[in-house]
């Protein structure tokens, strides 16, 4: 289970190299970057055996079983198709692509090739988010009336690059965070939004891309969803509130890369702090991805999940641009 990393990125260095090392088998064999110095530096820092600037170098290596793609968003589509064509399993960063049609092509190619395509919607693998989902599924808050997702944060200085000024690379808060919120809500409620209304704006950091968005989604069950994303909110805490007919789940600080935050269940009996598994989130993504390949089952967040989250995010963008409610037709691409 050797890996090729495509993209000498922050997330690859901060989390994914360690997540792969934490597994009982497999290693980081290749890192591919457009820049030879960056490839060499990444390989040295993160102990990759080999490095290069051509994706094919990793793809022709028969000992590489899986590829992790964390380049900027406009590159995911072509890189994933090349990896799939080479018979590699692919763990791809979100958003899967810049447009839904490209993401659908990736899903289709993986299914035809019989390889696993996963999307790194890591929140599904967080103990906190799983605990919230379990509370909902167990009926602890009754019928869900509404969900409010707070993902307005301040983009850390070291990430203030293409996300803020490069629409061609997939910059903007909708590509970055709305896709995560979309996957989160789908995971928690086990249903897909049927329509969205939205506003977006540039509020201090974005240059040519939106840095803030708010949207309201209608769910088939009748539940209403409010989703708030921003790069410009220095004092906000991330969180999720799930309001039900007989209780409320209040989670603060859980939309994170580390297993942090607090969850309270509020019912007629009072407020109970909910414990959750605090294992490494990205480690679990990788463990699940490997098990999905072994067991020939879908991974925690599949290519189809990545496609749907992108459809929802794209609908949010179009709704904000046009001022019109956007119905979402998943059948069009699945
Ligand atoms: P980075 O900006 O750190 O890296 C993206 C690309 O930029 C790299 O592949 C690299 O290109 C290039 N790059 C990196 N450092 C430099 C530098 N110093 N100078 C010039 N170029 C550089 O991106 P992120 O790690 O923030 O995001 C990468 C992907 O991961 C995105 O798709 C993003 O949406 C996703 N992501 C997902 C998260 C999750 O939790 N699932 C969290 C964070 C990001 P090259 O490879 O050619 O060297």
Quick: pLDDT tens for 195-235.
Answer: 999 999 999 999 999 999 999 999 999 999 999 999 999 99
CB 42, CB 13: distance < 8 Å: yes
State the average pLDDT over residues 6-22.
Answer: 97
Asked if the model's pLDDT at residue 334 lies above 80, the reply is: no
Domain boundaries, the chain: 2-122, 124-282+312-332
- State pLDDT tens for residues 189-200: 999 999 999 999
CATH for 124-282+312-332 (3.30.360.10, 3.40.50.720, 1.10.569.10, 3.40.50.2000):
3.30.360.10
Q: How far, in Å, is the centroid of ligand 1 from the Cα of 159?
A: 8
Omega into 95 within 30° of 0, i.e. cis? yes
- Cβ(200)–Cβ(206) below 8 Å: no
User: Running DSSP on this structure, what letter comes out for residue 269?
Assistant: T
Residues with Cβ within 6 A of ligand 1?
Answer: 7-11, 33-35, 38, 70-73, 93-94, 120, 122, 159, 161, 176, 257
Q: Which sign does the torsion angle of CA 291, 192, 217, 223 carry?
A: negative
Q: What is the CATH number of domain 2-122?
A: 3.40.50.720
CA distances from 4 to 41, 58, 68, 306 (A): 16, 6, 6, 21
Residue 80, burial from CB neighbour count under 10 angstroms (0-12, 13-18, 19+): buried
- For residue 332, name the pLDDT band (cuts at 50, 70, 90): confident
By most ligand atoms within 8 Å of CB, the mutation choice from 4, 11, 35, 121 for ligand 1 is 11
């Amino acid at each position: 289970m050797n890996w090729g990393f495509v993209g000498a990125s922050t997330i690859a260095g901060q989390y994914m190299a360690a997540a792969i090392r934490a597994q009982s088998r497999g290693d980081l064999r290749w890192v591919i970057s457009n820049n030879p110095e960056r490839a060499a530096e990444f390989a040295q820092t993160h102990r990759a055996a080999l490095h290069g600037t051509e994706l094919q170098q990793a793809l022709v290596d028969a000992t590489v079983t899986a590829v992790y793609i964390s380049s900027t968003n406009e590159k995911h589509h072509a890189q994933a198709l090349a990896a799939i064509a080479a018979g590699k399993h692919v763990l791809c960063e979100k958003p899967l692509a810049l447009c839904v049609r490209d993401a659908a092509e990736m899903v289709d190619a993986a299914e035809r090739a019989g390889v696993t395509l996963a999307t790194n919607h890591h929140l599904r693998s967080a103990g906190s988010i799983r605990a919230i989902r379990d509370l909902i599924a167990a009926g602890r808050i009754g019928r869900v009336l509404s969900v409010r997702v707070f993902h307005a944060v301040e983009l850390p200085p070291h990430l203030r690059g293409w996300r803020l000024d490069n629409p061609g690379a997939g910059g903007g808060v909708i590509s970055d965070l709305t896709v995560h919120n979309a996957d989160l809500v789908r995971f928690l409620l086990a249903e897909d939004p049927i329509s969205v209304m939205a506003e977006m704006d540039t509020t201090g950091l974005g240059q040519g891309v939106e840095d803030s968005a708010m949207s309201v989604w209608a769910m088939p069950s009748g539940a209403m969803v409010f989703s708030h994303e921003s790069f410009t909110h220095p004092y906000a805490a991330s969180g999720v509130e799930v309001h039900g007919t007989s209780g409320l789940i209040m989670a603060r600080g859980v939309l994170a890369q580390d297993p942090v935050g607090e969850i309270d269940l509020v019912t007629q009996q009072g407020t109970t702090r909910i414990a959750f598994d605090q294992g490494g989130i990205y480690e679990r993504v990788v463990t699940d991805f490997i098990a999905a390949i072994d067991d020939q089952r879908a991974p925690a967040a599949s290519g189809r999940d990545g496609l749907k989250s992108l459809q929802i995010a794209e609908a949010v963008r179009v709704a904000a641009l046009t001022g019109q409610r956007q119905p979402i037709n998943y059948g069009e691409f699945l």
